[in-house]
Amino acid sequence: MNEELCRRAVEGLRKRGYEAVFARTPEEAADLVMHEAEAAASVGWGGSETIKALGVRERLAAAGKEIRDHQLVMDLFLLSANALTADGRIVNIDGRGNRVAASIAGPSRVVYVIGRNKIVEGGVDEAIARIKRCACPPNCRRLGKKTPCAATGVCADCDSPDRICKVTAVFDRRPTGISTLAIVVDADLGY
């Protein structure tokens, strides 16, 4: 069932202009990321817990790659999606929009690594609901934000200055001129 959903999401991404591949395991996904990074001198990292779980940041550093956080100009930018619809729409929510901006303009190559836990059967509304339920509260706790969801684990659609859900980006198709690969992994990764 999970593999079938992952493969449908890969097909949806391909129909929307992305290069997309299926990875059976996090290790396979990490190897794909390392292959993508072979020719890159600089690698940007969008603060992704999914990428962190793969251990590729350490592998990249050991390979002598320059790693930058939230930079627009780099050879390769690694990130995840907060949600992916089964028909291939990528949805991300940011506080400042820097991660989203770096996935739209600047890098020579963008690579998403997306765990099966982030795939939703419904559309964009279900994706946003999933993000506010599953990603925003733990990210607020991880970042030490003073928000209601950090305290309760439930989104309150708050007005807190520490709120991290201020910019919502829906990618209906691959952005023009951006070489983008999406790796969909049959594993629960990140929030």
Q: What's residue 106's pLDDT?
A: 82
Bridge-partner residues for 173, per DSSP? none
Q: Any idea where the domains of the chain sit in the sequence?
A: 2-185
Confidence of residue 1 (pLDDT cuts 50, 70, 90): confident
Helix (H) or strand (E) holding 20: strand 19-23
pLDDT digits (tens, 9 = 90+) for 12-38: 999 999 999 999 999 999 999 999 999
- DSSP per residue, 87-140: TS-EEEEESSSHHHHHHHSS-SEEEEEEEGGGEESS-HHHHHHHIIIIIHHHHH
Q: Which residue has the tokens 């291939």?
A: 88
Q: What's residue 132's pLDDT?
A: 96
Confidence of residue 45 (pLDDT cuts 50, 70, 90): confident
What's the rounded Cα separation, in Å, for the pair 65 and 24? 26
Confidence of residue 47 (pLDDT cuts 50, 70, 90): confident
Confidence of residue 83 (pLDDT cuts 50, 70, 90): very high
pLDDT digits (tens, 9 = 90+) for 93-147: 999 888 899 899 889 999 999 999 999 999 999 999 999 999 999 999 999 999 9
pLDDT digits (tens, 9 = 90+) for 112-124: 999 999 999 999 9
pTM (2 d.p.):
0.94
For residue 70, pLDDT over 70 is answered with no
Q: What's residue 169's pLDDT?
A: 97
For residue 46, pLDDT over 90 is answered with no
Residue range 2-185 forms a domain whose CATH class is: alpha beta
Q: In what order do the strands lie in the sheet with 119-120?
A: 119-120, 83-85, 90-94, 167-171
Per the prediction, the chain carries an average pLDDT of 94
Q: What's residue 69's pLDDT?
A: 72
Name the DSSP letter for residue 46: -
Q: What's residue 128's pLDDT?
A: 97
